[in-house]
A and B are shown apart, each in its own frame.
Chain A
Amino acid sequence: MSVVLQVAIVVGYLLAALAVGLLAYRLTERTAEDYYLAGRSLGTVVLLFTTFATLLSAFTFFAGPNIAYRFGPEWILVMGLMDGVLFGLLWYVVGFKQWLLGQQHGYVTLGELLGKRFDAPRLRGGVAFVSLFWLFPYVMLQQDGAGSALAALTNGAVPYWLGAGIITGFMILYVVLAGMRGVAWTDTLQGAFMLVVVWTALLWVLYAVGGASTATAALAASNPEFLRLGGGFYAVPNFLSTAVGIAFGVTMFPQVNQRFFAGDSETVLKRSFALWPILVLLLFVPAFMLGAWGAGLGVEMPASGNILPAILAEYTPGWFAAVVVAGAMAAMMSSSDSMLLSGSSYFTRDLYRPFVADEVDERREDRLARVGVVAFALATYAMSLYNRSIEGTWSLFRIGDTAFGGFAQLALPVMLALYWDGTSREGLAAGIFGSQLFFLLTVFQPETWVGGVPLAGSALAGLLEPAFGLFASSYVGGWGANVVGMGLGLVLTVAGSLLTAGRN
């Protein structure tokens, strides 16, 4: 299997994505609303797939199967509950509400919606700032994943910096040109591609080993505990903290939240709502079962640290591994391109325009938006390279790992703002910034809080060596700091609103 053929498959895939982006460019008008939201015109298939592909990052192909390989396939249940059921309901409760308000008032970002509804420009800027704080390192994670995947596939012939650079370059091209329409169309291609790749991989492996019953029997013999629901890593608080925290976090991720505004009609939203759980099921069951079966089949974890490519190398021809890496690439790109676009819109609309240059006409904002995409992409790329060179001392990747928790802190105050008339500007600000502060403190200085006594002076040490990842953050009786912080945000918003009632 030559490196040339493998690279050709990946580059061929990238070119196909670019072509779709260019096609979309021909239909794009030169206004910010069209650039960021495709003129609020997405139909069912495109909206469904762009949300799906945006939501699912490289986790599906790498980290997810790795977890199933190490701990058993129960992670499927976490994903089903979190993405299939809870996110579906939140799409209705938060997303549909935002869509209605967006139709009435023309909002493009969440910060804009809150800032205008509460007549609070600084709140608007604050929400954008908090969002960008968590989004930036998360984009870095995606670029890092892409660079590592290409380097692993080609055994280093395409070095890390080049792989990450190529992916970033391609994304800049079609995001700058075609905006949301281009992103949504390429997402549709990428989402469909991921599904096809994952199912082909599943059927191929099962055919090679003699069917699901044989594979599961092997797993029952080698790791009987894997088939037994729950236990060990899969404790109940861990299940629920992860599912609840991430489902709420996802709704506040800029690239997902912005899609709430982009649907064409209520009919589109209704259809998407009904089809959503099936789509989630179709992707996670095969991807994670492959990881779990890999353990039963005795596939060794390779040096790259990802089990799925190793399973495929064992049971499928070499070119198919390249196709799967292209699939993982699709997963990363379909998330990052949307993040670039949303990051740019949060920056230009909620920070740059209100605080730096208010007098910007539509065409100028449209241009500004594109410049924002390039700047955001290059900045995350540069930081990825820089962080890699100093790995182990101070890594921004740690912030990316906890981004879901950071975004989850926004969810409950925002929901109160959408539904409870008693919410005040001050209460909302207290809920949003108070819970962020709490979450940052718990995540970045774990030792001091787990002991129950906050120790002064160790904040720096906590910042330099954050020992907590997304899944390790047990706080109170095994409940994650993300969920505890969400509760705090709720209490602060309500208390702050009651205290300042009648002032507005």
Chain B
Amino acid sequence: MRDRTRKTGWAVVFAVVVAFAIPWFLWRDATVVAGLPVWLWWHIGWLMLTSVIFYVFSQWGWGLWVGGDRV
């Protein structure tokens, strides 16, 4: 049961990571901050956040769905 909760939780996290790599809420926006469009800053920040999330997963979620040394 605990495993199932973890699987669902991580699936939701990854779905959010995929969904907002492109800032849909900034569609047709052209605001520029510090030399780059805001939508590009969002993307840069989002991919850095993705990297942190992937790291957290590799430490505490690794093996979910797939198998391996933890699950």
Cβ-defined contact, A85 with B35, below 8 A: no
| B12 interface residue per 8 A CB criterion | no
Cβ proximity bits A246-288 to B, threshold 8 Å, 1 near / 0 not: 0000000000000000000010001101111110110001000
Given A85-B18, A96-B66, A100-B67, residue A228 in contact with residue B30 (CB < 8 A): yes
B window 8-39: CB within 8 A of A = 14, 17-18, 21-23, 26-30, 32, 34-37, 39
Cα A73 to Cα B36 with chains together (Å): 10
Cβ-defined contact, A227 with B32, below 8 A: yes
Given A229-B39, A266-B62, residue A273 in contact with residue B30 (CB < 8 A): no
| A211 interface residue per 8 A CB criterion | yes
Q: Which residues of A contact B32 (CB under 8 A)?
A: 213, 216-217, 220, 227
A-B contact count (CB 8 A): 107
Cβ-defined contact, B34 with A224, below 8 A: no
| A212 interface residue per 8 A CB criterion | yes
| Set A81, A217, A273, A289: member contacting B21, Cβ < 8 A | A81
Given A80-B47, A85-B47, A273-B54, residue A211 in contact with residue B35 (CB < 8 A): yes
Cβ-defined contact, B40 with A285, below 8 A: yes
| Set A93, A216, A231, A274: member contacting B51, Cβ < 8 A | A274
Q: Which residues of B contact A280 (CB under 8 A)?
A: 47
Cα A203 to Cα B51 with chains together (Å): 25
Residue in B closest to A280 when the chains form the complex, CB atoms:
B47
Cβ-defined contact, B48 with A278, below 8 A: yes
How many positions in chain B have a CB within 8 Å of any CB in the partner chain?
37
Q: Which residues of B contact A76 (CB under 8 A)?
A: 40, 43
Cβ proximity bits A208-242 to B, threshold 8 Å, 1 near / 0 not: 00011101110010001001111100000001000
> How far, in Å, is A10 (CB) from chain B's closest CB?
32
Cβ-defined contact, B21 with A84, below 8 A: yes
Q: Which residues of A contact B51 (CB under 8 A)?
A: 274-278
Cβ-defined contact, A229 with B37, below 8 A: yes
Q: Which residues of A contact B66 (CB under 8 A)?
A: 92-93, 96-97, 100
Cα A345 to Cα B21 with chains together (Å): 36
Cβ-defined contact, A229 with B29, below 8 A: yes
Given A89-B14, A216-B36, A277-B51, residue A80 in contact with residue B43 (CB < 8 A): yes
Q: Which residues of B contact A217 (CB under 8 A)?
A: 32
Cβ proximity bits B35-61 to A, threshold 8 Å, 1 near / 0 not: 111011001101110111011011100
**Residue among B40, B62, B67, B69 with the highest chain A CB neighbour number at 10 A:** B40
Cβ-defined contact, A229 with B23, below 8 A: yes
Cβ-defined contact, B40 with A73, below 8 A: yes
Cα A213 to Cα B37 with chains together (Å): 10
Cβ-defined contact, B47 with A266, below 8 A: no
Cβ-defined contact, B55 with A228, below 8 A: no
Q: Which residues of A contact B57 (CB under 8 A)?
A: 273
Cβ-defined contact, A229 with B28, below 8 A: yes
Residue in A closest to B35 when the chains form the complex, CB atoms:
A212
Q: Which residues of B contact A86 (CB under 8 A)?
A: 18
Residue in B closest to A94 when the chains form the complex, CB atoms:
B66
Cβ-defined contact, B29 with A100, below 8 A: no
Cα A285 to Cα B45 with chains together (Å): 12
Cβ-defined contact, A224 with B30, below 8 A: yes
| A431 interface residue per 8 A CB criterion | no
> How far, in Å, is B8 (CB) from chain A's closest CB?
16
Cβ-defined contact, B69 with A266, below 8 A: yes
| A294 interface residue per 8 A CB criterion | no
| A77 interface residue per 8 A CB criterion | yes
Q: Which residues of A contact B17 (CB under 8 A)?
A: 85
Given A97-B66, A229-B29, residue A213 in contact with residue B54 (CB < 8 A): no
Cβ-defined contact, B44 with A285, below 8 A: yes
Residue in A closest to B23 when the chains form the complex, CB atoms:
A229
**Residue among A77, A239, A278 with the highest chain B CB neighbour number at 10 A:** A77
Cα A88 to Cα B57 with chains together (Å): 12
Q: Which residues of A contact B18 (CB under 8 A)?
A: 81, 85-86, 89
**Residue among A216, A227, A229, A239 with the highest chain B CB neighbour number at 10 A:** A229
Q: Enumerate chain B interface residues (CB-CB to A < 8 A).
A: 14, 17-18, 21-23, 26-30, 32, 34-37, 39-40, 43-44, 46-48, 50-52, 54-55, 57-59, 62, 65-69
Of all A-B residue pairs in the complex, the 3 with the closest CB atoms, nearest first, are: A212-B35, A270-B58, A274-B55
| 14 sampled A-B residue pairs with Cβ under 8 A | A76-B40, A77-B22, A89-B18, A213-B34, A216-B35, A228-B29, A229-B39, A231-B28, A266-B62, A270-B58, A276-B51, A277-B54, A278-B51, A280-B47
User: Given A80-B43, A84-B47, A220-B32, 8 more contacts at CB 8 Å?
Assistant: A85-B47, A86-B18, A97-B67, A228-B29, A228-B30, A266-B62, A273-B58, A276-B54
